[in-house]
Amino acid sequence: MNFKISQRKAFLTEQKNKGQRITIGFTGIADLRSFIALEYIEGMMKAAADYDINFINMGAAIKYSLFEDINFVNHYMKNFWFMKKPFLDGLITWASSLREFVDSEKILKTFNSLKPLPMIDIGHLDIPGVTALRIDSDSSVQMIMEHLVKVHGYSKFAFIGADVSEPHRKRLSAYKNELKKYGLKEIENSVYMANSMSVISLSNTVTRFLQDHDIRKKEIEAIVTTTDIIAAEVINQLEKNGFNVPKDIAVTGFNNWYDGITAKTPVTTVNLEYFKRGYMAVELLIDKIMNPNSPCKIVRVKTSLVIRQSCGCFEKSVQNAGKKIDLTEDETEISEQQLRQKLIFKLLEIFKTEKEVDVENLVNSFFNDVYLNPEKSCMLEWFQNHLQKYSHIASSNAAYLQNLVTGFRNIFIPVLKNENLETILRIEGIFHQMRTLITIFTKYETLAERENPYRLNNISKNAVDLSDAMNLDEIIELLKMQLNEMNISKAFLALNESNSSNINDTKIRLIYPEPKEELKQKLQFKIHEPYQFPKSLFMDTRYSLMLEVLHHSDKYFGYIFLEMKFLNIAYYDVIRLLLSNALYSVRIKKADKKNDFLLETSEINRLLKKQNPTESKRNRITIKNLTDYLQKNISEKTNLDKIAEHFMVSRSYLSKKTKELTGCSVQELHEKMKIEQAKKMLLSDNFSIFDVTVALGFANQNYFSNVFKKNTGLSPGNWLKRK
């Protein structure tokens, strides 16, 4: 084991033995549904699992639609309230991802405020005193240019980027250095930097390029771009103008984004090693936690070249599948047992996760197929069993499996060089069957995905049920059903007792699944600050969680931690949206229904200590206008200054006049009216005690119960039992 890895594991084991398992978080704003962000998070989660530490995803996804709340960034910033000790031991940041929404000065101020919390940044914004993990742009552009110049012999280049960020400008600088290195002239009007990444801007840029250069005369042989988004749009615009990539001109990208894969011609690009960077970020963060005073540094990550068709090549897997197999190696001098061992050794290099006994079975299957010629291929049966280990065959796994077939075909075929043609063709046929089997498994998975509408139907039904929930208890029961439907096996819910503009002073309302007896005592546990959330609730097992802050417009209800079973946080956003809307419905909409239970004049008069007092019509304050005001503001705290200002009198005059007219103080009268309305609401069976607490503006349920008992002699629950 690597010495550094051993050091980290020894430190982490020591912390764990003290009952202080390390917990790290991740924060940033991005399209966390894209495979770039997913690979980042997958790398972090894999490293957290390998090092046996806790991981909490505090990232936020860029708005999914125009209808998302315009206060998106404000909601996200609430996550920073968790980013302190003792809740987190360290944080991976993607500070530059906030630049689209927040200016750099505010970003730096926000992250600097988190110090001395150990941090590692994976973006391109320098945070003073924080180690940064960056890609090596220069070597990345070098790889592209080396391939285009040395493999394809191109010498006439153009460059298309966007003047939107520093990485684009750095790639342009590296490109110009490469031209000089190869002694190539920068052709006049061959560098184009679009004003933005929009389709219109890129379309106009390609139009200018085509006006400046005659592609059919090969004035330009290859276009180097700064991202796959630009490369894909360049290919699209070239095709619209009647040009074929790569036949008429080559195009390369950068970043290895989804756009490059789905372009009309798949884009040769640079893989920025998102998974690797996510993994390395965790390792660097552990190092920083171990040695908090170590100097900050910039760590450069080497990238890799991804060959696709836009440069004029075929993908590596296609090239390998057609690669000529070397049949010159002489195996006649070794015994069959030695040959078997040699084959096992070679196959273990391909099947890195397989046990040796399983690979030995594959070798036995090969020899059975060659010499026994069974009715059903033993190799095909072995491969079928191997495929069943994969829960998903689609996308990247399918390509990986095709490469596996190519790999062990290249190992087995040379062994057959002395066999007759019929045997060789029969074994080749088995390899073709394996490739077909991969295609069939992929097709089955595609068909299985058609079941998703049924899952969506269930989620939709739960959404309707949640929106119809009458109280918090119903919401929690329906939430449990939703979690079960989405196969999420752990959740921890904390809610405010009143609607607020922050997420302080919450109580734990749900631990899912049903906790052990000692943890049940934590229910209703009050948390004054988010970073004080008791990690003991998560129990002793290692966890990966997603944090979602629950809100509707400017009202915050609390937050929920959800087990991260899926990389795509859209799943968790579904729960956030459904739960937030349900809480809004119960707390806000239901609170609005309190007006259905306003007190009648006769009911108010019964509350007064003085009956039929003498009133002057000239007085600014009368019983009617005073009680009308208090009724209108029944959910507000009693504020003498505000009431006095409303009636344009002094505070002392307000108090004196109220006592004179009603026999009560302003505070006492308002309180009596609240409790009288609370009785009517409770008797309706449409409001829980908690609902009434929120609707009538009491600070919390305990305070409401105390005030209710002071006025009635009974707690709300006992009072209801007697009715």
Under 8 Å CB-to-CB from 363, ≥6 apart: which residues? 340, 343, 344, 347
Tell me the average pLDDT across 512-522.
73
Q: Is 475 domain-assigned? A: yes
Same domain, residue pair 542 and 460:
yes
Same domain, residue pair 160 and 251:
yes
Distance CA(90)–CA(97), nearest Å, equals 19
Same domain, residue pair 441 and 494:
no
Distance CA(564)–CA(26), nearest Å, equals 13
Residue 32: pLDDT over 60: no
Q: What is the CATH number of the domain that holds 195?
A: 3.40.50.2300
Tell me the average pLDDT across 668-691.
85
86: cis peptide before it, omega within 30°?
yes
Mean pLDDT comparison of 280-284, 404-408, 522-526, 528-532, highest-scoring range? 280-284
pLDDT tens for residues 277-301?
999 999 999 999 999 999 999 999 9
Q: Where are the alpha helices (DSSP H) in 585-650?
A: 590-592, 601-607, 623-632, 640-647
Q: Is 629 domain-assigned? A: yes
Same domain, residue pair 588 and 604:
no
Structure-model confidence comparison of residues 528 and 182, the more confident one: 182
Tell me the average pLDDT across 645-656.
90
DSSP output for 265-328:
SPPBEEE--HHHHHHHHHHHHHHHHH-TTSPP-EEEE--EEE--GGGT---HHHHHHTPPP---
Tell me the average pLDDT across 680-704.
81
Structure-model confidence comparison of residues 240 and 473, the more confident one: 240
Write down the mean pLDDT value for the chain.
84
Q: What is the DSSP letter of 151?
A: I
Q: How far is CA 714 from the centre of its chain?
A: 48
Predicted confidence at residue 623, as pLDDT, reads: 86
- φ/ψ (deg, to 5) at 127: -100, 115
Distance CA(581)–CA(479), nearest Å, equals 12
CA nearest to 240, candidates 278, 276, 206: 206
Strand partners, 56: 25, 545
**143-147, 319-323, 463-467 — which is least confidently predicted?**
319-323
Find the Cα–Cα–Cα–Cα dihedral 98, 49, 503, 689, rounded to 10°: 150
Residue 575: pLDDT over 80: yes
pLDDT tens for residues 592-602?
666 667 788 88
pLDDT tens for residues 302-326?
999 999 999 999 877 666 655 665 5
For residue 123, what pLDDT band results from cuts at 50, 70 and 90?
A: confident
Q: Is 281 domain-assigned? A: no
Q: Is 61 domain-assigned? A: no
Q: Is 6 domain-assigned? A: no
- φ/ψ (deg, to 5) at 193: -120, 105
Domain boundary among 449, 484, 518: 449
Predicted confidence at residue 697, as pLDDT, reads: 81
Same domain, residue pair 146 and 181:
yes
Tell me the average pLDDT across 609-625.
70
Q: Is 5 domain-assigned? A: no
Q: What is the DSSP letter of 493?
A: E
Predicted confidence at residue 50, as pLDDT, reads: 94
Residue 399 near residue 392, CB atoms below 8 Å: no
Residue 88 near residue 558, CB atoms below 8 Å: no
The pTM score is: 0.72
Domain boundary among 421, 449, 477: 449
Predicted confidence at residue 65, as pLDDT, reads: 42
Q: What is the CATH number of the domain that holds 627?
A: 1.10.10.60
The fraction of the chain above a pLDDT of 90, given in percent, is 37
Predicted confidence at residue 67, as pLDDT, reads: 41
For residue 591, what pLDDT band results from cuts at 50, 70 and 90?
A: low
**137-151, 199-213, 243-257, 335-349 — which is least confidently predicted?**
335-349
Tell me the average pLDDT across 149-178.
94
- For tokens 């109580």, name the residue: 507
Predicted confidence at residue 421, as pLDDT, reads: 85
- φ/ψ (deg, to 5) at 37: -65, -35
10 Å CB burial of residue 448 (0-12, 13-18, 19+) is exposed
Same domain, residue pair 418 and 343:
yes
Same domain, residue pair 457 and 442:
no
129: phi > 0 → left, psi -120 to 50 → alpha, else beta; which?
left
Strand partners, 511: 492
Residue 42: pLDDT over 80: yes
Same domain, residue pair 538 and 609:
no
Structure-model confidence comparison of residues 471 and 185, the more confident one: 185
Residue 671: pLDDT over 50: yes
Q: Is 208 domain-assigned? A: yes
Tell me the average pLDDT across 71-75.
74
Same domain, residue pair 461 and 430:
no
Domain boundary among 449, 483, 503: 449
Q: Where are the alpha helices (DSSP H) in 372-516?
A: 378-387, 396-412, 421-449, 452-467, 472-485
Predicted confidence at residue 121, as pLDDT, reads: 95
Return the number of other C-beta atoms located less than 10 Å from residue 714's C-beta. Answer: 14
CA nearest to 575, candidates 453, 513, 484: 484
The fraction of the chain above a pLDDT of 70, given in percent, is 86
Range of the domain at 603: 598-721
Tell me the average pLDDT across 624-641.
87
- For tokens 């110090």, name the residue: 115
**171-185, 202-216, 350-364, 579-593 — which is least confidently predicted?**
579-593
Same domain, residue pair 664 and 578:
no
Total count of domains within the chain = 4
**332-336, 354-358, 393-397 — which is least confidently predicted?**
393-397
What would the two tokens of residue 330 be? 């002489």
Same domain, residue pair 173 and 241:
yes
Q: Is 25 domain-assigned? A: no
Distance CA(665)–CA(540), nearest Å, equals 54
Predicted confidence at residue 298, as pLDDT, reads: 93
Structure-model confidence comparison of residues 617 and 55, the more confident one: 55
Predicted confidence at residue 267, as pLDDT, reads: 93
Same domain, residue pair 537 and 640:
no
Residue 409: pLDDT over 90: no
Predicted confidence at residue 539, as pLDDT, reads: 64
Q: What is the CATH number of the domain that holds 546?
A: 3.30.450.40
Under 8 Å CB-to-CB from 397, ≥6 apart: which residues? 390
Distance CA(621)–CA(609), nearest Å, equals 17
- Half-sphere exposure of residue 455: CA atoms within 13 angstroms, side-chain side: 12
